[in-house]
């Protein structure tokens, strides 16, 4: 851990050490948050030292797919900083092998679903209960009592028949967002979904040539790859609490890919 949270709001960011998640961590630190990261890799001491120059950051090693790891992640965050104001369910994986759905394996399906959907569902449950316990009396005309942001994908509504388990998991995240938004609204907690398009990360590095060609052919009105900072900007805006009468909304960060065009 680098630094005490003091009076800063506290954010939990799963997968906050690389790719889109690291962009979100950087954005939240710059916006004045203390950030608690959950990730599967060994603690990245050099990265944490660098991030700590911007603001307080801490690290729990574990997998969002393991419910015991989620409980420990929350407990360690609370032990260090005492509260949670924002949860960003960002951690996710693509299939190890892109198989046609006619031959895709049960093992791949179970792995993707447990990390992308099951784990975040129950982490949200735990964090939402913590937000409720720390909020005091509900005042729906005042500041929000907590914010939850789910990072899904354009694959929530765009079919890729060679990675069906990924598409299903992200469609499930979209429904989970609606469920939590409806349930937590009376508790003063708002829930949003951010739906990235093609973002330049290590997850997409293996298909760079393919998407370069698709952008050249008009894949999106904004003809470029997205970058993690694009997603981070959306998270920071949603976390600012400037839209207390909005919940369950989908924010597309995809260069306009979602716009139907003739």
Give tens-digit pLDDT for 184-194: 999 999 999 99
Could you tell me the residue ranges of all domains in the chain?
10-253
CATH superfamily membership of 10-253 = NAD(P)-binding Rossmann-like Domain (3.40.50.720)
**In the prediction, which pLDDT does 139 show?**
84
What are the pLDDT digits (tens) for 102-130?
Answer: 999 999 999 999 999 999 999 999 999 99
**In the prediction, which pLDDT does 262 show?**
87
What are the pLDDT digits (tens) for 23-68?
Answer: 999 999 999 999 999 999 999 999 999 999 999 999 999 999 999 9
Q: Which helix (H) or strand (E) holds 165?
A: helix 164-184
Instruction: Looking at 17-105, list the stretches that DSSP marks H as alpha helix, in order from N- to C-terminal side.
Output: 19-30, 45-52, 67-81
Catalytic residue among 59, 166, 192, 245: 166
Is 15:232 a contact under the CB 8 Å cutoff?
no
Known catalytic membership, residue 109: no
**In the prediction, which pLDDT does 202 show?**
82
Alpha carbon distance 249, 190 (integer Å): 10
What are the pLDDT digits (tens) for 162-215?
Answer: 999 999 999 999 999 999 999 999 999 999 999 999 999 887 877 888 999 999
């Amino acid at each position: 851990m680098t630094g005490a949270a003091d009076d800063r709001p506290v954010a939990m960011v799963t997968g906050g050490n690389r790719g889109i998640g690291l962009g979100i961590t950087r954005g939240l630190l710059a916006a004045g948050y203390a950030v608690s990261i959950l990730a599967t890799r060994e603690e990245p001491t050099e990265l944490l030292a660098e991030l700590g120059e911007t603001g307080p950051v801490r690290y729990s090693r574990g997998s969002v797919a393991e419910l015991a790891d989620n409980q420990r992640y929350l407990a360690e965050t609370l032990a260090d900083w005492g509260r949670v104001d924002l949860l960003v369910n960002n951690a996710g994986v693509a299939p190890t092998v892109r198989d046609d759905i006619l031959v895709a394996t049960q093992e791949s399906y179970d792995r993707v679903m447990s990390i992308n959907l099951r784990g975040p569902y129950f982490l949200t449950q735990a964090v939402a209960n913590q937000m409720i316990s720390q909020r005091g009396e509900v005042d729906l005309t005042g500041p929000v009592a907590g914010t939850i942001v789910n990072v899904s994908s354009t694959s929530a509504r765009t079919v890729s028949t060679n990675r069906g388990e990924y598409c299903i998991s992200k469609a499930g995240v979209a429904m989970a967002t609606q469920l939590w938004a409806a349930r937590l609204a009376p508790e003063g907690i708002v829930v949003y979904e951010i739906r990235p398009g093609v973002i330049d990360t290590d997850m997409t590095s293996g298909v760079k040539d393919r998407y370069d060609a698709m952008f050249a052919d008009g894949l999106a009105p904004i003809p470029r790859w997205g970058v993690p900072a694009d997603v981070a900007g959306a998270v920071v805006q949603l976390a600012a609490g400037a839209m207390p009468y909005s919940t369950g909304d989908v924010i597309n960060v995809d260069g306009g890919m979602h716009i139907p065009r003739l």
